[in-house]
Amino acid sequence: MGRVTVRRPVVAYARRERRSKIDTLAAEEPLELRVNGKALAVTMRTPGKDVELAHGFLLSEGVIGGLSDIAVARFCEGAGPDGVNTYNVLDITLADGVAPPDAGVERNFYTTSSCGVCGKAALDAVKLKTRFSPAADTSTVDVDVLAALPDALRERQKVFAATGGLHAAGLFTTSGDALVVREDVGRHNAVDKVLGRAVLDDRVPLAGTVLMVSGRASFELVQKAAMAGVPVLAAVSAPSSLAADLAEEQGVTLVGFLRGDSMNVYTGAERVVP
């Protein structure tokens, strides 16, 4: 079902000494996502958990609201040079009565692994309206629980430990229990895989949860959290100004620079309790 890591010979230098060795790299391959047989997007991702990625992507784009909106997910035929199916084309058939993606929110046919929002056909289509507003979620999270999440996430980053080249996203309860952790070369893909797992488990909306990400908190990650009804988004690095604006507008608690026992709460500080 695709390689998560690839072994490659390299020449390494340490203190002016040169040696040859085998290094482990995170795999990156294109995934073409089709909806009802029509190409919607191509994203560069780490192979594996592609059905989750597709479900999470469609949830965060507002195409679906839950598991019942999808009838079938299947890989299309597509062989590589060795004649083996690449599993790089996935077709999602929507359930009867579910509208296909609106042309206004379709992405250009290619998005990179580092940016899932830059391929939007129009800037006005970026700001989507959630069906599951986090603003009404009254759950709270203890600062000590938040402080423990980066280590809890890192402990589950098995591929990162081998390659050093993957982003991670994890969904936790407000008590700190891990529900699902996923890794990917694209931070938005890692989040989509987490949200897609929630869709497949019929857990959406995700009230009373914390979405923890290993990098920065961008606009698109706040949007994905809001679209799934996640009340708290925490990141080990900085948020952008637009991410903070959107979090405030959507009622998402946004935590940045979560490192050790220190953190900055940019929006929704009433949910974070000592």
Distance, C-alpha 244 to centroid of its chain: 18
Q: Catalytic residue among 44, 115, 178, 200, which?
A: 115
Both tokens assigned to 170: 């994890």
Contacts of 270 (CB under 8 A, 6+ apart): 140
Collect all residues with Cβ–Cβ distance below 8 Å to 50 and sequence separation of at least 6.
1, 2, 31, 75, 87, 90
> Order of strands across the sheet with 262-267?
178-184, 167-173, 209-213, 232-235, 253-259, 262-267
**Which SS3 state, helix, strand or coil, does residue 186 take?**
coil
Find residue 171's DSSP bridge partners: 180, 211
Catalytic residue at 118?
Answer: no
Q: Is residue 174 within 8 Å of residue 139, measured between CB atoms?
A: yes
Q: Among 261, 239, 220, which residue's Cα sits nearest to residue 253?
A: 239
Q: What is the dihedral of CA 53, 55, 57, 63, to 10 degrees?
A: 170
How many whole angstroms from its chain centre is CA 58?
12
What letter represents residue 202's amino acid?
D
Find, among 59, 60, 53, 41, the residue nearest to 223 by Cα. 60
Q: Which residues are catalytic?
A: 115
